[in-house]
Amino acid sequence: MIVFVSGAVRSGKSEAAEACARCLAHGGRLHYLATARAADAEMAARIRRHQERRTASGTHWTVWEAPARLGRLARSLHPSDVALIDCLTVWLANELFSGDSWRTEETSFAIARRLLDDVRRLADACRAVVIVSNELFSGGVPADPGTFHYMKTLGWLHQQLVAEAAAAAVVECGLVRVRKGRWPQ
């Protein structure tokens, strides 16, 4: 099963996704697939806040620092486990901008298809995969080609994942707005 959670920066989507994953776990193990790298002080602080929140919840998470190639983690999952990917936007950026892949639509979408296959592999290996992603599309078309390819690729990937998801929600101001299926509670 795939559950897709999106929203703006600081909308509360990670907290909503973590609560969703805990509901789906039913005694299975929880895996946190963290895609961000602490490249600067601001990102290090965000990562630390996420870690502190997970610790404060009293829930045990197996954390995988996985900026790329998440599909390889499928062999570490069991059928009763739940995996949370936080977040798709960073994962795609890590994969897309690791070289010159973003320069053509063909290579950008080949990477997106590989990410989609990785999500499917993870979902086949466990009870559920909860995916967190950012909504980046309300500001118009960006001028620089790298950002433009990234946004087109992310938009396509969002559509594919939501089509396959059992549930999809947008988080706004900490409120979960279900757009597809039933939200696990």
Longest distance between any two alpha carbons in the chain, whole Å: 48
50 is catalytic: yes
Annotated active-site residue in 31, 50, 149, 158 = 50
Residue type, 8: A
Active site residues per annotation: 50
